[in-house]
Structure 1
Amino acid sequence: MIRFMLVGASGVVVNLGVMAGLVAADLHYLAAGLVATEVSIAWNWLLYERFVFRDRRDASRWWHRAIKNLAYNNAEFAARVPFLVLAVSGLGVPETVAQLITLVLAFGLRFVFVSRVVYRPVDEALGGPPDTAVAEPPTDPATAVRCTPTSTAP
């Protein structure tokens, strides 16, 4: 989870930097928030692939993971919009601060979705129960199955 948090923190920096630049260029904060979200989705996904869930990439095709990640994060942005509008228009919170608050509040759900759906553990993705892909040999000699060679020679 530490690597996920580090990637997420870098994505927040990217998101807020893009949004601040676009708002400074007089783009409406909701449009700026959408563009910033798209840029940070791509940023985070590339880092997830490379550094966070590298061991889980074999469970599905890269474009399946990309589509699920994109769909979830866009739905999450749509869910954050009312809170963003309330904070900015209703409470007078600066745009990038409001964006930061909504991103932080959504972190837990994002982690659960990305780690359990987008990058589902390989053994679960292949239909097996978790952590039973390889059977460990018994360590107790009393419980080990003994095979004795039989001879068919006269």
Structure 2
Amino acid sequence: MASVVQENGSSDQVLNEFGSDPRQLNCTIRVPVPRPKSEFSEEETVEILRVIDIDIPNTGSARFDVYVAKPDDKQGVEGCSDLGEYAGCLIELNQRRFKERTMSLGITNLVKRIGGENCEKLIVSLVPRDGELSIGGVRIDQIQAQ
């Protein structure tokens, strides 16, 4: 795992893989996420980015943003100079909490827009914006379009 210090003094965690233990989202986490091989044609496939086992304590609100980028062919996650394309966010206000929820984002068109159709992995960046939370993992699923 590498840590990159940015101009504003904050640090990013650049990971080779997310791992099996939950991670506190107290700085930007950037990780390559494998794309599964599809059993369906490109027209029949929908890609879903899942942020799993999101745990937010019962105190306060929380928000984080998700970005997706195409990796640099030579340098992988370290060679990706920016966060990439905005994919979505999770916002929780002072409401009842549910343990280990999952966030699902459709990224089929985003992958096409960034030219990532032939990539084996995509770089996913999780950017904390407010509150405390932990993330259990990130994965990409492909399902058949209905």
- Fold in common (TM above 0.5): no
TM-score range, shorter chain: under 0.3
Is the strand fraction higher in 1 or 2?
2
TM-score by length of 1: 0.26
Is the helix fraction higher in 1 or 2?
1
TM-score by length of 2: 0.27
